[in-house]
Amino acid sequence: MNVPSSEELMDLIAEEALIDRSKLREEETLEALGLDSVDTVSILFAVEEKYGIKLETDQLSRQQTLGFLMNLVQSKAASAA
């Protein structure tokens, strides 16, 4: 299992949340990007499916940043490798 790059994760998030990729910044909160809980769950499921890792929905809130989400995914993928 390879650890996904930040760019790869940003592309996946943009695709799942239907947000222009150029608008995504690591320091933005999910809430500031207009993502609701349904968007967040959709992103988590897409990440789980693509990278074969398990993420709990309670690990992520709308007040957390994209950077936090990416670090969470990368650390889970690294420990699963």
The CATH number of whichever domain residue 62 belongs to comes to: 1.10.1200.10
Q: Is residue 34 part of a domain?
A: yes
How far is the C-alpha of 32 from the C-alpha of 3, rounded, in Å?
Answer: 27
pLDDT in tens, 21-79: 999 999 999 999 999 989 989 999 999 999 999 988 888 888 999 999 999 999 999 99
Range of the domain at 53: 6-80
Q: Is residue 73 part of a domain?
A: yes
Q: Is residue 1 part of a domain?
A: no
Judge if pTM exceeds 0.85: yes
Number of domains in the chain: 1
pLDDT in tens, 1-32: 588 999 999 999 999 999 999 999 999 999 99
How far is the C-alpha of 79 from the C-alpha of 73, rounded, in Å?
Answer: 10
What pLDDT, on the 0 to 100 scale, is given for residue 75? 94
